[in-house]
Structure 1
Amino acid sequence: MKSAYKLFFDALANEARLRIVLSLRGGPKCVKELCGDTRLEQSRISHNLRCLSNCGFVNNKRQGKTRVYSLNETTIVPLLKLIDRHIAKYQEHLIKCGVLKE
């Protein structure tokens, strides 16, 4: 079980994947839109989307020739909202311990 937690949090600890997840909070996007939002190159976006899809963080739908990606509404969106509440409540403590920078 411990290794499953590590794998889960490692997926979000990767800066590129975190940027993709945070971009998708704004709604579903195709790879081109994610490239614009994250300033990452297409191949890096595609590689990390594959990882996020395999881990169940994101879903994708084909719209014509394009794939549109969105966050997993059942688990990831509620988890991100919970993290937001935690950061808001403990922001001062997170800054003191060096997790957040002012």
Structure 2
Amino acid sequence: MECNRDEASRALAIAVEKLGAQDWASAKRFAAKADQLFPNLEGLAQVVAVANVQSRAHGKAEGETNWYEILEVEASADGVAIKKQYRKMALVLHPDKNKFPGAEASFK
């Protein structure tokens, strides 16, 4: 189990490095690997959140941003569900709580 934790820590470190290089797809891939190896690793959820938001925001087609996809809600969601999900994501992505590269841009 300790071996998995060490490997997960390495994968998380690589994911953070990829976030700093703005390579969102690779950051997601390494964060997913860390999650698979050791799901309760400290800071993993924050890295995953930043990578997901940034990859969705930069994966837009023809300059249009799909805010529903970024917030991870259905397009048919009502205002209450959208507001609830926004607040939930804001807590995870707030720069005071998330010190990883790209967190501040994800929050904005």
Between the two structures, name the one with larger relative contact order (CA 8 Å, sep ≥ 6).
2
TM above 0.5, one fold? no
**TM (normalized to structure 2)?**
0.30
Whichever structure has more helix as a proportion of its residues is 2
Whichever structure has more strand as a proportion of its residues is 1
